Structure formats: structure tokens, C-alpha cells
Structure 1
Amino acid sequence: MSATRSPKVTDRVAPKAAEPPPKKKKHDDDDGPDFATLFRAWLESHRASMVDSLRRLGKQPIGSFFTCLVMAVALSLPMGLSLLLKNVERLGGSWQRAAQISLYLEMDAGGRDGEALVTQIKGLPGVADAEFVSRDQALKEFQQQSGLGEALKELPDNPLPGVVVVTPQEVDKPTLEALRQRLSELPKVQQAQLDLVWVERLAAILKLGDRFVFGLTVLLVSALLLVIGNTIRLHIENRRTEIEVIKLVGGTDAYVRRPFLYMGALYGVGAGIFSWGILAFGLNWLNDAVVGLSGLYGSDFALAGVPAADGLSLLLGAVLLGYIGAWIAVARHLRELAPR
């Protein structure tokens, strides 16, 4: 009897395939919140800061109103003077009109010669416009302006020559002088006259006005930063204990700074709106007297209002100044409120 070999345990059991290592469970805390969550949290933080700033300003309506009013007055002065300078420049005529070149024609030049000369001059470079004034028209204008109408009627002949008035494109002294010299060489032109003294005087007056407005703007902007900085400083002092507690529990400087920056920007919004209204009302009130005065001189001149672009620039500048003033004030006092 043959002995049978009993199978070993290893023979009866099939080899087991190697299992892959267990995957490590992914926890949400490993990667942190996604971008959408962080963005919503950021928006909510800014919304809460702005609402808190509005609420605190609403608790002190009188103080907030007068702070905005002081800022509005400081903004209105330089902007108002700048608008008045623009109106004065418009009243005195454009630069091109102030620098007109008068070409006095020869006595034997007729109307056809004058019109032909105007056509030739308009084709020259650097010339914006040209107009011919005949001898008869010049005499009528002189009679009306001088008040010597009856005396001039006694003259046997018209003593005034024809004139071509040339308006240049650019107002530059060397360019104007070169253009005058070229025009004086044209046929039928006896004399070319350019009143450069008036151009230089007008330029000096407007340059002086621009510098005065710039200097006043710098001074008032500095005062405005001091006003908004002092106002924000008072708000910081009123919340000193609250800020120290926030910093003790881990609040960042950006979190502490944010409500005060919104407060400064809101002060700027109010000041910009008030300043725009002050300028519009002031120019409208002053315009009545200007229209009456210009009517006495037979003119229809009137002050222009506040352009929309200038008003929006004023509003944006006020918001920016309020933001910068608040930032300076918070940056200065935030170091003093570090927890001890």
C-alpha cells in the first residue's frame, strides 16, 4: 500500500495577491478652504467694516456733518479759483484771438485783392483762419467805436486801408514772429502788425493765477489731511480698549485698520458731494451779477458751471484724500496700541 502524501497547508491555500497600501484619507483641514470661500469671507469682512463705519458716523450726525463741511470748504476754494481762471481766460478771448496778426493793405488794394489774399493765407501752414475787412467796413467800425462819426463824414476820402486779420494756430512768440515776417512779404501787404505785448501780459497773468491756485491747493490739501487725521485719531482713542482686545486675541493690523479707512473714505464722499454743491450754487449765484454786468457792455458772456468731469474728479480726489488721511492716522497710532 502506497503511502499518500498529505498536501501541505501551503499547497491547499492559493497565494494571496499583494494588496496596495491603504490610501491615506484626505482631510479637509489639510488643504484649507478654497478660493471661493476665502473671497466670500473677504467680501463679508469689508461689508461688515463699511456698515460699522456708517453706523458709527450715524451716531454722531452733527459732528460728521461739520467735518464733511470743513473738508468741502477746503476743497471748494482751489477748485473754484481754477474755474474762475478758466472763465476769465474765456472772457479775454482765446489765445489765438489774442494773438491775431493784422495785415494792412496798400491803399490801391480792392476787394478782389483782399479776398484773393485771404484764400492764399488760409493755405499757409500755421494759420487757423483769415478774414478780410474792406476799407468801407473799417471806416464804419471806426465811426461807431470812436464816436467821431460826424467829423469823419467831412473827410474827402477814406483814410483807412483794407485789413486782413489772421488767426494763428499756435501761440508761441518765435513762431508768431516768423509767421508775421512771412505774411509781411506777401503782395499788396504794406504792414504786418502783431501785438505780442498783449499776448505776453495775458500769459503772465494766467501763469500767476495758476501758480497761486497750485500753492493754495497744496496748503489746503495739507490742512485737509490734518483735519481728517485728527478726526480719525479721536475715533481711535474712543475705541482704544476694543482695539487692544482685538489685538490680544490675534486680530491683524489690517483687520483693525479697515473700519477707519472706510470711515475716512466716507468722510471724503460726503465732502466731495458738499463741495460740488457749493461750487454749483456759488457759480450760479455769482452768474446773475456777471450777466448783468456783461449786458451793460453789450455782451452775452456768462459763467460756465461745474463740468461733470471736474465734478467727478473733485469727488474722487476727496475720497482719496480721506483714505490717505485715515491711513496716516491709523499707521501712526496703531503702533502705540500694541498689547503689552
Structure 2
Amino acid sequence: MAASTPESKPAERVGGSGRKPEPQSDEPGFKALFHAWLESHRASLIDSLKRLGKQPIGSFFTCLVMAVALSLPMGLALLLDNIERLGGSWQRAAQISLYMELDVRNEAGTALREQIADWPDVADAAWVSREQALEEFQQLSGLGEALRELPDNPLPGVIVVTPREIDRAKLESLRQQLAELPGVEQAQLDLVWVERLSAILKLGDRFVFGLTLLLVATLLLVIGNTIRLHIENRRTEIEVVKLVGGTDGYVRRPFLYMGALYGLGAGLLAWLLLAYGLGWLNEAVVRLAGLYGSDFALAGVPGEDGLSLVLGAILLGYIGAWLAVARHLSELAPR
């Protein structure tokens, strides 16, 4: 009688491991997805650089036009800052002059100056004696010989007070307090030219702000039109990419990098134009200031402002490219 053979089990087949196979996951891991994302951005960046490099003259002049538009408002803003610095500190521009009575001696004037200098609202105080005032008046007026014929010195001693804060209401209150001090004949505060200069500077700030808005709109139009031309040149390629399943983000990415690269080039050129322009203008300013006995010189472009200019240009290029692609993306459907 033949022995019965047991039925073979799947785990007992030749070459079997005796364990059930683990299910395989077809979804890629986070590392693979992140690597693919980086590779896609790298490829888009390199492609944009190559396309700009194939048209160096056109790309340069596009960046140059953007650079001129960027440098105008920042150049005006830097000039306004230098004008404000040229006007001197606001504290010294709004000094309060205390004209003392004629019988106040130098010792009393010096003591009163020290007392005023300790006030919390006062930054500095200087005593000008009657003799010093007469000497300065003789030099400035050109009437030295005539003034020497006078029997007595008609000029009083003066305490020049420099306030800590420029505020019309606070300055008027400080002037009234100083006018009530013993020995003070008159306290004079002249803020007319300070207010005029402040009004001119505020007008300049508004003008620069309005000009900046106009030029930003112009930059968006320039970069948008440039990207639109690139889109038209690659219309067939884009339609094929979308036909095989390319997403809008994949299609948009190279143009966004191109806009950012245009902005980077424009920002660096604008920084260079501003640095060269201010340096060229500074030679004439230093020569003119030297004729007036001043060592004033134009300040260059601060590093922080230059970096802000470059980053702002990159952002404008990116936004302009985004708007251009978003407008024409619906027209790029495969036919």
C-alpha cells in the first residue's frame, strides 16, 4: 500500500522562506520627494540662466532699464537725507537766545548758564559775554571803526540754549520758562526757517514716494512684457509639456526664476549706478562746501540700503513674472 504523501504547502516549496512576503508600498518617501523638488528647481534655474545667456545684450538692456527706474527714487531719497544732514542738527537749528540785562556780569551769566544746562529739556547752553558779542558783531557787520567810537557797549550778554527735542509747543513752553529767569531781558525763538526746511523735506518725501509707486508700476509692466515675450517664444514647448501632464506650477517655475534673475541683475546695476553717481557728484559738492569753509560731503549708499534695493528688485521681478504667467497660463492649454 503506497504511503500517502502530505499535500505541499506554499511555505514548504523549494526556495520558500517560510514567511509571508511583506506588502510593497508604491508611494515614494519624503526624502525622494524632496530630492525631486530640489532637482526640479535646480533644473529650472539652470534653464533660465542658459536662456538669458543666449541673449546677453537683450538681457543686459532689460536689466539696465529696470536699474535706471530703481535708482531714481532711491537716489532722490539719499539726496534728501544729505540735505537734511546739511541743514545741521534740528536741535542747533532751533536754538533759544536769552538776551540778558545790561547790568548782568559775566559771573552771573556763567552761573545762570550752568543752571540752565542742568535742565532735562536742555541739551546744551553757551554763554556769550558782552565783549564777545561786540567783537562778533564788529566782524560780521563791518562797522568795527564806527562801533569803537561808541562810549559804551550797547550789546547785552547772551545765553544760547539748545533744546533736546524739537516740538513747537514744548519749545514755546521752554522759552516762557527761560524768559522768567532773573536777569533775562528777552527770550527769542526763531523756528521759521526750520519749519520751512521741514516742509520742503516732507514735500520731497511725498514726491519720492509718489515717484516710487509710478516706477514700481513701470517695472512690473517691463518685466511682465519681457516674460510675455519669453512665453510666446516657448508656446509650442509649453503646450507639449501640458499635453503630457505638466502642472501649472511646473510650467510657471522657469519664468519665475527668470523674473527673479532679471531683478537681481537690475538691483546690482542700480546699486552700482547710485554708488558711481553719488561719487561723481560728491566731487563738486566737496569743492563747493570748501569755498564756504565746510567739510560737508555726500554720504554714499549704505550697505543696508543697497541690500534692500537688490532684494526689492528681486521681489519685483518675481511678482512681475508671476502676474505675466498667471495672465497667460489659461491661454497655454494644448490645442
TM-score after normalising by structure 1: 0.90
**SS of the residue aligned with 1:165?**
strand
Corresponding position of 1:276: 271
For 2:237 and 2:217, locate their aligned partners in 1 and report how far apart those are by CA, in whole Å: 30
Shift of 1:117: 1.8
Equivalent of residue 233 in structure 2, options 221, 235, 238: 238
CA deviation vs aligned residue, 1:220-253 (integer Å, no higher than 9, x gap): 1111111011001101111111111111111111
Alpha-carbon distance in structure 1 between the residues aligned to 2:85 and 2:312? 26
Q: Which amino acid aligns with 2:220?
A: L
**2:25 matched to which residue of 1?**
28
Match of 2:58?
63
Aligned to 1:184: 179
Q: Output the CA distance in 2 between the equivalents of 1:39 and 1:148.
A: 85
Q: In the alignment, what sits opposite 1:202? A: 197
- Identity among equivalent positions (%) equals 78
Gaps of 5+ in 2: 1-18
Equivalent-residue separation in structure 2 for 1:323 and 1:114 (angstroms): 66
Deviations 1:195-233 (A, max 9, x none): 121222111111111111111111111111110110011
How many residue pairs get aligned? The number is: 318
Residue pairs, 1:139-178, within 5 angstroms: 139-178=134-173
Q: Does 1:107 align with 2:109?
A: no
CA distance in 2, matches of 1:273, 1:202: 33
In structure 2, C-alpha distance between the alignment counterparts of 1:107 and 1:274, rounded to whole Å: 64
1-structure distance, mates of 2:25, 2:289: 78
For 1:311 and 1:148, the matched residues in 2 are separated by: 52
* 2:315 partner letter: L
Structure 1 SS opposite 2:78 = helix
Alpha-carbon distance in structure 2 between the residues aligned to 1:143 and 1:304: 36
Deviates more, 1:193-202 or 1:214-223: 193-202
Name the structure 1 match of 2:70: 75
Q: Within 2, Cα distance between the matches of 1:306 and 1:158?
A: 51
SS in 1 for 2:159: strand
List alignment gaps of at least 5 residues for structure 1: 1-21
- What is the CA RMSD across the aligned residues, in angstroms? 1.6
The residue type paired with residue 201 of structure 2 is L
How far residue 188 of structure 1 moved from its aligned partner, in angstroms, is 1.8
Give CA deviations for 1:267-304 in whole Å, capped at 9, x if unaligned.
11111111111111111111111111111112111111
My pick for the range that moved more, 160-169 or 71-80, is 160-169
**Structure number, greater radius of gyration:** 1
Deviation at 1:24, TM superposition (A): 6.4
| 1:148-189 alpha-carbon deviations (Å, 9 max, x no partner) | 222222222222211111112221111111111111112221
Q: What pairs up with 1:128-139 in 2 under 5 angstroms?
A: 128-139=123-134
Q: Secondary structure at the match of 2:160?
A: strand
The answer to whether the aligner puts 1:301 opposite 2:332 as a matched pair is no
How far has the Cα of 1:119 moved from its partner?
2.1
Per the alignment, residue 288 of structure 1 pairs with 283
Matched, 1:116 2:111: yes
- Between the aligned partners of 2:229 and 2:108, the Cα distance in structure 1 is 78
**Does residue 210 of structure 2 align to residue 215 of structure 1?**
yes
- State whether structure 2 residue 82 is matched by structure 1 residue 87: yes
CA distance in 1, matches of 2:332, 2:262: 24
* 4+ long deviations beyond 4 Å: none
